[in-house]
Homo-oligomer: A and B are copies of this chain.
């Protein structure tokens, strides 16, 4: 083959595989999501610093480690892990997968620190554990998140799972991933509300500065969630299948006559 022929073949493979320009509006939505996410993290820090005495691992301030870790891990990093396949559209699938898995591991570790902090604090103070709706939702979300990670790892990163098994599990993984993310945002809002009502009580209704700040933080948390889900679910922003995958999928289709996998 001449260079020109190879070049032409590559071009035709690329256009079939959809290695196309990133959709025009996507970067703006991604930027918005990052702006919202970072604002939420910063505002949680500001709330804890201004109205709750800051953060420490020992003593009464240990409680404050909990909301900060949860917002960084289970909101910001979990949200960003979901966006990896939309942002890195033309990287090798394997690289994207590894990044997706790593971000989730990081989120899981930070959330675990946040979990240990609140249980430690409760023990120190002699409070009971796991009595509130926030704590029930929280422990459920954490367990689901861990299970989702394990199952995701064994299907998609571990080499064992067959191609058809992967393509049948993929939509379930995506749905439950999005669901766990939404539940995380909801649980954070419940926790924020709990922290406010325990401290402010009836003063909440006098528009105390802390209450207003926390309400705005709550709306921003919800907005981050909605923005991430919008980017994730928009059909024309899905990751295009790549040349390697397409070829593979063709091979397997010929071999197994199974259904063709939809790209993540």
Binding site for B on A (CB under 8 A): 127-128, 131-134, 136-137, 140, 171, 175, 179, 182-183, 185-186, 189-190, 192-194, 196-198, 204-207, 211, 214-215, 218-219, 222, 226, 229-230, 233-235, 262
Contact = CB atoms under 8 A, between A and B. Distances in A.
A77 to B, nearest CB: 21
Contacts of A215: 132-133, 136
Copies in the complex: 2
B229 A179 contact: yes
A137 B219 contact: yes
Q: Which 3 A-B pairs have the closest CB atoms?
A: A197-B197, A133-B218, A133-B215
A240 to B, nearest CB: 17
Contacts of A127: 205
A200 to B, nearest CB: 10
A91 B212 CA distance: 49
Given A182-B182, A186-B186, A229-B179, A218 B131 contact: no
Given A175-B230, A189-B189, A193-B193, 5 more contacts: A131-B211, A133-B189, A179-B226, A179-B230, A197-B197
A204 to B, nearest CB: 6
Contacts of A128: 205-207
A219 B131 contact: no
Nearest to A230: B175
